[in-house]
Amino acid sequence: MVALALLVVAVPAGAQDTIKGTLTGAVADDLDNGRSVTNWTLDTGTRTVKVLPTTLPALVPENANVTVAAEQAGGTVVGPVTAASPQAAPALGGRTTAVIVFNFATDLRQPWTIPEVKSNIFTAPGSTSAFFAEESYNQLWLTGQTDVDGDVYGWYTLPTSPTSCDFSSWASLAKTAAAADGFDAAGYRHVMYVFPAQSVCKWAGLAYMPGTESWINGEPTVRVTGHELGHNLGLHHAGAWFCKNAGNQAVTISSSCVLNEYNDPFDVMGSWGSRHSHGWQLQRLGVLQPSNVRTVTTSDTYSMTSALDSTSEPTTLRVPRTYAAGGEVQDWYYLEVREAGGVFENFSPTDAFATGVSIRVDDDPSQTTRSRLLDTHPGGSIYDAPLRPGETFSDGQISVTTVSAGDGSASVAINMSAPPLDQQPPSAPTRLSHVLLGAGLRLSWYGSGDNVGVSTYSVYRDGVQVGSAASNSYDDTSVLPGQHVYTVYAQDAAGNLSPASAPHVVAVPGPKSVALKSGSTDRSPPRLRLVRHRLRGGRLQFTASASDRAGIAQVALRIDGHQVRARRASRLSYRWRPRSGRHRVVAVAHDRRGNRAVDRLNLRVPRA
């Protein structure tokens, strides 16, 4: 395949246009493979243009009006996005939702009855509506327009064959079919489309962020439906930060980190399940009181309680971490403790998240980006990420010591002493360039100057931080095919951030496709089996075996969100010595027609 041409934005001063409109991102969530694709568009009222944002404001479905300081890269608008009005939370109360259930002329499966779909989304104690009600203290839930217990339309058979993932056309056909039963889109804040699993769609769910519509590909569970509705409400992913020191050893935080965008096991905006959103997300949803989020500005010992039940006490502590060139806080450490209870916070009272303090790096709530959970016990399961009583986390400027944690409350000693305070930011990195790698690309730039010295560079792709680097290059191995924009910021030891580099736009080529024979309608996933065997010395061996008439293109294995092995073969094995705690092992197989199969194992390894 011929690589697409490199595009580099280089616009002379004063050549920018200002474009206003409504911004929407279509987020496709491949939860099992731990990756997503977001396509941003701007509706100006007279035309719709593609946008590669270098910054993203917090937006809600009721108001996504923005201004883009636009540069042009071909037919794409590139530049920072600012909200047209001050940040707001989505409207609370019962959000009217319609669910339309359909299949296809060539796929007549009906995996669920309509009452089952209604129960899953609206009425059961473990439903999607119950999830939002529980985490919001009954301030936010789903309801119907014609039935307070929820509106579900279907089954409908669409007069089409799913030979490609044309979700937009499917929605149009589904709405037309439901209109005969009284459906009117104008009466709903959200419309969700549910259909049997289709391998032509390489995602479990897709949603507009922010927006009104979502698509559920064969899994109408809270893990998917709650995640996609979270996107509709303006929330992004809950990830984890994986960092290494100069000796290539795993550490909690350093100048060289990589984002695993879904790997927070205790937030529905991750990919693990249906746990409550963490404090930063709840703050953005507007369900917390101002007194629930305490900003720490001085060294002292602070207490907090869990956010399981409504309270006027602090449930989240936030500590300024880095500062933008104008002096405003760029991102924060968010601290919290969790408590088992309710339907969805159904973990053990002895789990690390209930007996320690979790620390996340979160951007200012006025920005849309992914949260980054810090693993204070790096090198093993992300389940033991929280800081236990008696342990200390330090980034060299700020230290946090857990004094006590458990039974729904915690106390932490925070030390912010770092005199004298350097308030001069570095200069912006310049002359970004890249080369393609076997997987992803290597981004390079000319270094920045600073009165004291640059300690790290923060790398943003499409307006969201994906990693950091101590040197003047960064390997982005998780980037997917398509057009992307990169910006880089320099950070000094005091946490001051430089202005952004000029945007660098890259077109990443896709893999070569395998042409189907004339008349071929192969949409069957391969057969896949994942097994484990116990070995001596506490080790485990995982074996994934796949088969398909079209042939197997690749088998891959992921442990706790990390891909540990992949082979262009039908079988692979991997030996692993697990640490105590919970672990998730996922095998993924693709056949030569692009169909995918997934098999999973959930493990719990007791303490020795």
What integer is the mean pLDDT of 222-247?
Answer: 96
Q: Which whole number is the average pLDDT over 30-58?
A: 93
Q: Is a pLDDT exceeding 50 seen at residue 283?
A: yes
pLDDT of 513 higher than 70: no
Using CA atoms in the order 460, 461, 467, 473, what is the torsion angle rounded to 10 degrees?
-80
Q: Mean pLDDT throughout 492-521?
A: 76
Mean pLDDT score, 533-549 = 86
Position 153 pLDDT exceeds 90: yes
Grouping H, G, I as helix, E, B as strand and the rest as coil, residue 606 is: coil
Amino acid at 62: E
Dihedral, 506, 507, 511, 513 alpha carbons, nearest 10: 170
Check whether 516 has a pLDDT greater than 60.
Answer: no
Q: What percent of the chain has pLDDT over 90?
A: 70
The pLDDT value recorded for residue 403 is: 98
Mean pLDDT of 32-45: 92
Tokens of 256: 């060289």
pLDDT digits (tens, 9 = 90+) for 189-207: 999 999 999 999 999 999 9
Are the C-beta atoms of 60 and 85 separated by less than 8 Å? no
537 or 221: which carries more pLDDT confidence? 221
Omega before residue 378 within 30° of 0, cis:
no
pLDDT-wise least confident of 108-117, 194-203, 240-249, 595-604:
595-604
The answer to whether 451 touches 422, Cβ cutoff 8 Å, is yes
pLDDT at 512 over 70: no
Confidence of residue 551 (pLDDT cuts 50, 70, 90): confident
Which pLDDT score is estimated for 53?
Answer: 96
pLDDT at 257 over 90: yes
Mean pLDDT of 412-416: 95
**Per-residue confidence (pLDDT) for residue 569, from 0 to 100:** 81
Q: Model's pTM, two decimal places?
A: 0.86
- Which of 336-345, 411-420, 447-456, 588-597 has maximum average pLDDT? 336-345
Confidence of residue 601 (pLDDT cuts 50, 70, 90): confident
**Of 17-21, 134-138, 248-252, 378-382, which has the strongest mean pLDDT?**
134-138
State the Cα–Cα distance between residues 411 and 407, nearest whole angstrom. 12
pLDDT at 161: 93
pLDDT, greater one: 270 or 510: 270
Closest CA to 393 of 460, 453, 317, 457: 317
- Sort strands 454-461 and 250-251 into parallel, antiparallel or unpaired: unpaired
Residue 234: predicted pLDDT: 97
pLDDT band at 9 (very low <50, low <70, confident <90, very high): very low
What is the β-pairing status of strands 140-143 and 93-104? Answer: parallel
Asked if 202 and 215 touch (Cβ cutoff 8 Å), the reply is: no
**Cα gap 109→112, rounded to integer Å:** 9
pLDDT tens by residue, 89-106: 999 999 999 999 999 999
State the chain's mean pLDDT as an integer.
Answer: 90
Report the distance separating Cα 205 and Cα 129, nearest Å.
Answer: 17
Question: Which band of pLDDT confidence, cut at 50, 70 and 90, is reported for residue 511?
Answer: low
pLDDT band at 8 (very low <50, low <70, confident <90, very high): very low
Q: Mean pLDDT over residues 283-308, rounded?
A: 97
**Mind listing the pLDDT tens digit for each residue in 45-91?**
999 999 999 999 999 999 999 999 888 766 789 999 999 998 889 99
pLDDT score for 556: 84
Write the burial class of residue 571 (CB in 10 Å: 0-12 exposed, 13-18 middle, 19+ buried). Answer: middle
Question: Phi and psi for 294 in degrees, rounded to 5?
Answer: -100, 125
Looking at 159-173, 296-310, 561-575, which range is the least confident one?
Answer: 561-575
Q: Which domains does the chain have, with CATH numbers?
A: 93-232 (3.40.390), 238-415 (no CATH), 527-605 (2.60.40.10)
Q: Is the pLDDT score of 386 beyond 70? A: yes
Q: How many CB atoms lie within 10 A of CB 10?
A: 11
Share of the chain above pLDDT 70, in %: 94
Q: What is the mean pLDDT of residues 240-257?
A: 94
Q: Comparing 248-257, 290-299, 420-429, which segment has the lowest mean pLDDT? A: 420-429
Per-residue confidence (pLDDT) for residue 565, from 0 to 100 = 79
Q: Which of 563, 566, 564 is nearest to 590 (CA)?
A: 566
Helix residue spans in 383-524 (DSSP H): none
Helix (H, G, I), strand (E, B) or coil at 365: coil
At CB < 8 A and 24+ separation, what contacts does 5-8 make?
A: 5/507, 6/434, 6/506, 6/507, 7/73, 7/74, 7/483, 7/505, 7/506, 7/507, 8/432, 8/433, 8/504, 8/505
pLDDT at 18 over 90: no
Closest to 557 (Cα-Cα) out of 539, 576, 538: 576
Candidate ranges 44-48, 221-225, 536-540; pick with highest mean pLDDT:
221-225
User: Do the beta carbons of residue 99 and residue 185 sit within 8 Å?
Assistant: no
Q: What confidence score (pLDDT) does residue 6 get?
A: 37
pLDDT interval class at 13 (50, 70, 90): very low
pLDDT band with cut points at 50, 70 and 90 for residue 600: confident
Euclidean distance between CA atoms 258 and 477, whole angstroms: 10
